[in-house]
Amino acid sequence: MKLSETQKKFVEDLLGKMTLEEKVGQLNQDSPSIVGGFDVPFEELIEMLTDGRISQEEFGKIMATAERDFHEDDIRAGMVGSVMGNDPVKANELQKIAVEETRLGIPLLMGFDVIHGLRSVFPIAIAEAGTFDDDLMERTAQMAAKESRAYGINWNFAPMLDVARDSRWGRVSEGPGEDPFLASKFARAKIKGLQNNNDSVDSYVAACTKHYVAYSACEAGRDYNTTSMSTSQLYNVYLPTFKAAMEEGACSAMASFNDLNGVPCTVNSYTLRDILKGEFGLEGFVVSDANGIRECVTHGIAEDDVDAGIMALNAGLDMDMGTRIFYNHIAQAVKDGKVSMETLDDAVRRILSVKVWLGLFENPYVPQEAIEAYKANLPKEHIALCEEAAEKSIVLLKNEDKLLPLNKTDKFTLVGELADRPDEVVGAWSLAWEKDDCVSIKAGLENANANFEYYPVCGPEGEINAEELKLAIESDSDIVVAVVGEYTSMSGEASSKADITLPGHQQEMLKKLVAAGKKVVAVLMNGRPLALGWEAEKLPAILEGWHLGIQMGTAITKVLFGEVNPSGKLSSTFSSVNGQEPMYYNHPNTGRPGSKSKFTSKYLDAPIEPCFPFGYGLSYTTFEYSDLKLTENKDEIIASFTLKNTGNVAGTEVAQLYMQDVTASLVRPVRELKNYERVQLNPGESKQLTLSLRKCDMGFYNNDAKYVCEDGLFRIYVGGNSKDTMEEEIRIKF
């Protein structure tokens, strides 16, 4: 986000005209209140949803018709800076009040969670990151931005940039996996896609990077839980994505709910002022997460709302999401000298700058054509991009005796309730999808005229239907495609789990099918890496499908029949059993690396190896790596090697380069991803490839938050995942 001198002057002039109250108004992000349209109080409705008295679908229906109060009088009085919502007609109405009926005519920021597409739902982020395809990640963000504008949204609460190492945490689904390097590439691509497509005013939005910071490091994987860590860990693991996003000019950030080393991120001036705004140079603003300011009272760091509001604004938090604490108390706090006018002006200036950058003063409204564009069917190119992203995100985890791809004419049995749930393909944080756009796996197979019988048998919840299981076992085909995994509601916010094996009776269903002599192909639909020890050992084929978005069924069908050769890789390590979590490949070296001998870092009752490592994913062909050589120039190390397609179909491989700093002043990870490239190869074809490693990327942050590059021995690994690699050593003097 860069403003011209004229734009900066415009902001200053406007600021100069504002009253104290109008300034405070800009810091207020308002959500419409739900005021009726149903028979019980709203709180009870939420409880009914939580305890299962009403389903998610019933809740959605009630909400869709609920009466809302958009606080129009507050907007008219200039007391609202931003509104949450995704209705373009309502957005235009509210914007008209802000622009035409307020004293200064300042437009509203319209914020909404557009995490992996809006109506065009793309794969969840953990899946999309596994494409290792930066260009794709940028294009899906671009499309999401364009659709957002048409829905009246000009500020996306995305990208979610929490590097996550513990799969018990439900929000792993929303972010780009466990690796800071890959996640930072994802961050750059998303900011470019959301913000830089400014060929027309309707095609870009302001990004909001979240959740700042270290939210994913919550103890025991339990959402909202406490986090504590060293400075070096904060800088090396949790900050790089945000740094990368700021370098790309991200407009805003959302402070996370958690405390970090005892200070909630909402009121943490070290992370907000010193690092984000100071060191990383955020020019836009920081918003709290929903209710975040009030939660500082619950955290026990602020005595009351007033105290919490003052602490937050002074710490560098500029906008209040949802509590109205700034609205109610900041004007008085300025009059009492508890917040300086300079601090308030800085926050307002940042918010106004984003509005100016977005062009809202010139173009505040959603044009009618844009609203019309999505009323009917989704445009073809949107569906095509959803399909491309879904296809590239699928990861082939196991394929014994080349069971896959299936022969299209051969009969098979399809089981699993999830196979016939178009509403479950979208994944967590999909808020504007339409059922008619969604292709379930069963529908995808039907569209391709596949030859199968379907028995749901069992889903992530509920019992096994014995009659259906019997029919599935008795069916004359010996191949069973079992769609198993998690409901959308089992990952995402407030969806941490202590048990991350296949939920419900699904594994029992698989065991019965295997015992009956069926060759079971598991197709997984899930929002987190699952602990797959049993499945990996006993099933002949496993396809990781995640929640792939609206074209899930089409993409899975094409992969099952070999029309698309899978090329996705895991952006997160998969454990074998629950107790291995948190499990991630780039862990620090111990003094006693786990081995067969007794006194080493391991479990008595579980393997030390992951079930599937980071970067892992098979293909219908095979790839061979050879001839690794390292050369060095002034700025880089170049790894050259040969990659050959040794199978008999064309395929795409993600070649990966890892590094280990063998001896350093701090214990370093056993491996760290440093570069990658997607390479397409025909059968028998081999290519000479190079992957470079910039010397400036070979350092690390120490506990004084200083980035240091230390001379010494480095090990370089190249291969198709983080475990199976070739290696060479090189001594470097920086």
Chain residues in the site for ligand BGC (CB under 6 A): 113, 157, 210, 289-290, 493
Distance in angstroms (rounded) separating the CA atoms of residues 421 and 149: 29
| Closer Cβ to ligand BGC, 26 or 258, answer by number | 258
| Closer Cβ to ligand BGC, 212 or 455, answer by number | 212
Distance in angstroms (rounded) separating the CA atoms of residues 284 and 352: 9
| Closer Cβ to ligand BGC, 197 or 495, answer by number | 495
How many C-alpha atoms does 488 have within 13 Å on its Cβ side? 19
Distance in angstroms (rounded) separating the CA atoms of residues 210 and 290: 12
| Closer Cβ to ligand BGC, 503 or 527, answer by number | 527
Question: What are residue 91's phi and psi, to 5 degrees?
Answer: -55, -45
Shortest Cβ contact with ligand BGC: which residue?
Answer: 157
> In 201-286, which residue ranges form alpha helices assigned H by DSSP?
231-233, 240-247, 269
In the complex, what is the shortest distance from the CB of residue 428 to ligand BGC, in angstroms, rounded to a whole number? 10
Distance in angstroms (rounded) separating the CA atoms of residues 376 and 387: 19
Plot region of 684 (φ>0 → left; ψ -120 to 50 → alpha; else → beta): left
Asked if residue 713 lies in contact with residue 729, where contact means CB atoms within 8 angstroms, the answer is yes
**Three-state secondary structure call for residue 149:** helix
In the complex, what is the shortest distance from the CB of residue 21 to ligand BGC, in angstroms, rounded to a whole number? 26
Catalytic residue, candidates 289, 305, 320, 661: 289
In the complex, what is the shortest distance from the CB of residue 29 to ligand BGC, in angstroms, rounded to a whole number? 9
| Closer Cβ to ligand BGC, 30 or 289, answer by number | 289
Contacts of 617 (CB under 8 A, 6+ apart): 130, 395, 396, 397, 566, 567, 568, 569, 570, 654, 720, 721
Contacts of 345 (CB under 8 A, 6+ apart): 15, 23
Task: Identify the CA nearest to 655 among candidates 572, 728, 727, 720.
Answer: 720
Q: How close are the terminal C-alpha atoms of the chain, in Å?
A: 33
| Closer Cβ to ligand BGC, 284 or 504, answer by number | 284
In the complex, what is the shortest distance from the CB of residue 679 to ligand BGC, in angstroms, rounded to a whole number? 35
In the complex, what is the shortest distance from the CB of residue 509 to ligand BGC, in angstroms, rounded to a whole number? 34
Distance in angstroms (rounded) separating the CA atoms of residues 563 and 387: 13
Tell me the two tokens of residue 674: 């440093």
Task: Identify the CA nearest to 308 among candidates 284, 281, 328, 280.
Answer: 328
| Closer Cβ to ligand BGC, 34 or 471, answer by number | 34
| Closer Cβ to ligand BGC, 156 or 575, answer by number | 156
Distance in angstroms (rounded) separating the CA atoms of residues 631 and 652: 26
DSSP sequence for 480-528: EEEEEE--GGGSSTT---S--SS-TTHHHHHHHHHHTT-EEEEEEE-SS
Q: Which helix (H) or strand (E) holds 125?
A: helix 125-129
DSSP strand pairing (252-255 vs 206-212): parallel
| Closer Cβ to ligand BGC, 157 or 658, answer by number | 157
In the complex, what is the shortest distance from the CB of residue 114 to ligand BGC, in angstroms, rounded to a whole number? 10
Is 199 in the active site? no
In the complex, what is the shortest distance from the CB of residue 216 to ligand BGC, in angstroms, rounded to a whole number? 12
Print burial letters for 348-381: b (CB count within 10 Å at least 16), e (below 16).
bbbbbbbbbbbbbbeebbbeeebbebbeeebeee
In the complex, what is the shortest distance from the CB of residue 289 to ligand BGC, in angstroms, rounded to a whole number? 5
In the complex, what is the shortest distance from the CB of residue 210 to ligand BGC, in angstroms, rounded to a whole number? 6
Positions annotated as catalytic residues are: 289
